[in-house]
Amino acid sequence: MANIPAELRSLPLEHIVGSPLVAAIKAQALAAKTTVDFIKEVGLKPDDSWTAVDDQSGYEARYVEFKFDRLVEERDTSTDPPTTVQKIVPSKLTVPMLSIVPIPYLRINDMTIDFEYQIRDVETSESTSETKISTSAKMNGWFYKVQLKGSFTYRTANKRETDRRSTLKITVNAVQDEIPEGLARVLDILSDAMKVVPISEGTVVTTPTGGSGET
Amino acid sequence: MEKAEVSLKAVVTGLMQALREAKLLGDMESARLIKTYRKSMPSFSVPAFAISEVEVELRFAVAESQELRRRGGAQPGDIKIKISPETLKGLEPHQISQLRIKFSPVELRVFEKPEEG
């Protein structure tokens, strides 16, 4: 093993396979934290007027307001026959920011690790220990006493495998995951908070039509 | 010292143990994250991965040592092989065997006592 670099001499296979696995878990956790940070920065703003759980400062949902002209049909039943007029009503829409922006939430779907591994050395040590089980029973009137002496067999194999090459090809497939259920419910509640408020009286844009209101 | 011959059984066992320990490393990382998730991201599920399939291609040469000849050949499941790259490099292609193994996780079975009568 003289030609093997010292840093690779004791590189166990489980670390070669396990390290990308651990890295993927860390990456997934990092992605989740990024999602939480995104929600806090984009969808919420700190609100010091109240304290949330764990004595952390509370947050308030960030809203965005749009002004737009809404076409409204109004039916006037006071006339005979009833009439329908179309009006343009300047309105304001208040929308929670979180309900209109896509929330990034990536999930690592699968990961493929390709690598070549040259087994340099296999060290196997086996130890077997066996102890006889002796049993003795003694009856004495109402009770009997059993004394057991037992043991177990222990067998172990220790291996040391080293690698000279260090080529490793990892393919990670990440997909946009469905948002967590709790977050989905939050978004549903926020969506319900959307409301359209007229800013002023509307302007009639069509002449009244009679009858059923059909034009 | 690098051994000239090793047991095929030991190599395959070593592979299985390495995969099991690799999975354990991942599980330990997931377990380590549970506390952080509970505190900061309670609605997110803690990431955990399973090793779905591992395919290993093993190249080796069956050893024909004097010891094996004396015993009348290698015993099934206890074949001595040569796996060092230097050894394989000096051999003819027909002397090199190739073994492909697929490892997949098996769900633990729960045996239940069948209902009587």
Secondary structure string (H, E, C) spanning chain A: CCCCCHHHHCCCHHHHHHHHHHHHHHHHHHHHHHHHHHHHHHHEEEEEEEECHHHCEEEEECEEEEEEEEEEEEEECCCCCCEEEEEEEEEEEEEEHHHCCCCCCEEEEEEEEEECCCCCCCCCCCCCCCCCCEEEEEEECCEEEEEEECCCCCCCCCCCCCCCCCCEEEEEEEEECCCCHHHHHHHHHHHHCCEEEECCCCEECCCCECCCCCC
Q: Average pLDDT, stretch B12-23?
A: 86
* Residue B114 within any structural domain of the chain: no
- The answer to whether B48 faces chain A, any CB pair under 8 Å, is yes
- The answer to whether A104 faces chain B, any CB pair under 8 Å, is no
Assigned token pair, A90: 């300047």
Cβ neighbours of B51 in A, within 8 Å: 17, 21
Cβ neighbours of B77 in A, within 8 Å: none
Cβ neighbours of B41 in A, within 8 Å: 32-33, 36
Q: Average pLDDT, stretch B43-71?
A: 81
Name the maximum alpha-carbon separation found in chain B: 67
* Residue B115 within any structural domain of the chain: no
- Cα(B101)–Cα(A36) distance, integer angstroms: 42
Per the CB < 8 Å rule, is B21 touching A161? no
- The answer to whether A175 faces chain B, any CB pair under 8 Å, is no
* Residue B111 within any structural domain of the chain: no
Domain count, chain B: 1
- Cα(A137)–Cα(A159) distance, integer angstroms: 44
Q: Taking all residues of chain B, what is their mean pLDDT, rounded to a whole number?
A: 81
Give DSSP secondary structure letters for B54-102.
Answer: EEEEEEEEE---HHHHHTTSPBTTB-EEE--HHHHHTS-GGG-EEEEEE
* Residue B33 within any structural domain of the chain: yes
Name the residue among A14, A15, A25 with its Cβ closest to that of B49: A25
- Cα(B74)–Cα(B62) distance, integer angstroms: 9
Q: How far is B23 from chain A (nearest CA, A)?
A: 6
Q: How many CB pairs under 8 A join A and B?
A: 108
pLDDT at B72 over 80: no
Cβ neighbours of B1 in A, within 8 Å: 1
Return per-residue pLDDT of chain A as tens, 215 residues: 334 444 444 467 888 888 899 999 999 999 999 999 999 999 999 888 877 766 677 888 999 998 999 888 888 788 778 888 888 899 999 999 998 888 888 888 888 888 877 776 666 655 554 444 444 434 333 333 322 223 223 333 444 444 444 456 778 888 877 888 888 888 888 888 888 888 888 787 766 665 544 43
Contact assessment for residue A47 and residue A58, using Cβ atoms and an 8 Å cutoff: yes
Under DSSP, the state recorded for B44 is S
Give the pLDDT confidence score for residue A42 in this predicted structure.
92
- Classified as helix, coil or strand, B6 is strand
Neighbouring CB atoms inside 10 A of B95's CB total: 11
Contact assessment for residue B59 and residue B97, using Cβ atoms and an 8 Å cutoff: yes
Contact assessment for residue B80 and residue B7, using Cβ atoms and an 8 Å cutoff: yes
Give the pLDDT confidence score for residue A151 in this predicted structure.
29
| CB burial readout A65-104, b (16+ within 10 A) else e | eeeeeeeeeeeeeeeeeebbbbbebebeeebbbbbeeebe
- Chain B residues 74-103 with CB within 8 Å of chain A: 83-85
Nearest Cα to Cα of residue A71 among A181, A212, A177, A215: A215
* Residue B108 within any structural domain of the chain: no
Residue range of the domain that includes B15: 6-103
- Chain B residues 4-43 with CB within 8 Å of chain A: 6-7, 10-11, 13-15, 17-26, 29-30, 33, 36-37, 39-43
Nearest Cα to Cα of residue A148 among A140, A136, A132: A136
Give the pLDDT confidence score for residue B32 in this predicted structure.
94
Cβ neighbours of A177 in B, within 8 Å: none
Q: How far is A125 from chain B (nearest CA, A)?
A: 10
